[in-house]
Amino acid sequence: MISIAILSTADITIKGLSEIFSDDEFSIVGIVDQFGMFKELIKEKRPDVAIIDTSSVTLPSTYSLSKIGDELKVLSEFTGLISLVEHPDRSRFEFTRRVGVRGHCLKTVSSSDLIEAVKAVANGETYTHKDYARAISSTESQTILELRRLLSKRQMEILDLILLGLSNKQIADHLYLSIPTVKSHTSMILKKLGVSERSQVVSKILNSLIDEITKKGSCKLPSQTNI
């Protein structure tokens, strides 16, 4: 039997998940609507899988992205985390994957596919639903695509955190790197982007994104208030 914990504030989502996992093959050990209660539930019950309805859960304003990452890393040691989202973006996908979330699905995922995801994550595997993968690929901006072509994977990870305002020490702690290593990567990022200061990195990328918005439509940046 696979034990499951659920974090959601949406009644319709809670009802749907309860129905999907009502079979004897599964056991829902708890449903909560606050992240603090969710942490306690995970540590107490240690379910095989924990489903987070990220589109409905708003975290306290005191939670920085770094703090969210640290919390999720701890929880991922107790359970297999699955993220349900309405509007996926690659930045959030890369972030949640780095901090231990193993399953990624849209909230419109079919019952059979969600069951498949839960079984995979409970078995220690990773699972990204095909519609989720297609969504983050189709919505990625040309600016971000160009950055991925220009920078290494590690440099992109560091750039993501620079854009979120983290210091070198915070980035080092988050990625388990030394501060000199972060400084070295940051210097290379500045060089590749043709700027001399970190603040210019933010300005250059935002200006490029704003230009895209003007020409093509909206481009959503990651929010710090949701997981």
**Could you state, in chain order, the average pLDDT of each consecutive group of 10 residues for the chain (227 residues)?**
94 93 94 91 94 78 70 89 86 80 92 95 92 74 72 88 85 91 93 86 70 50 45
Residue 217: its pLDDT value, please?
A: 47
Q: Residue 136: what pLDDT? A: 76
- Cα separation, 125 vs 25, in Å, equals 18
Question: Which pLDDT score, from 0 to 100, does residue 220 have?
Answer: 44
Q: What pTM did the predictor assign?
A: 0.64
Q: Is 120 exposed, middle or buried (0-12, 13-18, 19+ CB in 10 A)?
A: middle
Domains and CATH numbers, the chain: 2-138 (3.40.50.2300), 142-216 (1.10.10.10)
Q: What pLDDT score does 61 carry?
A: 61
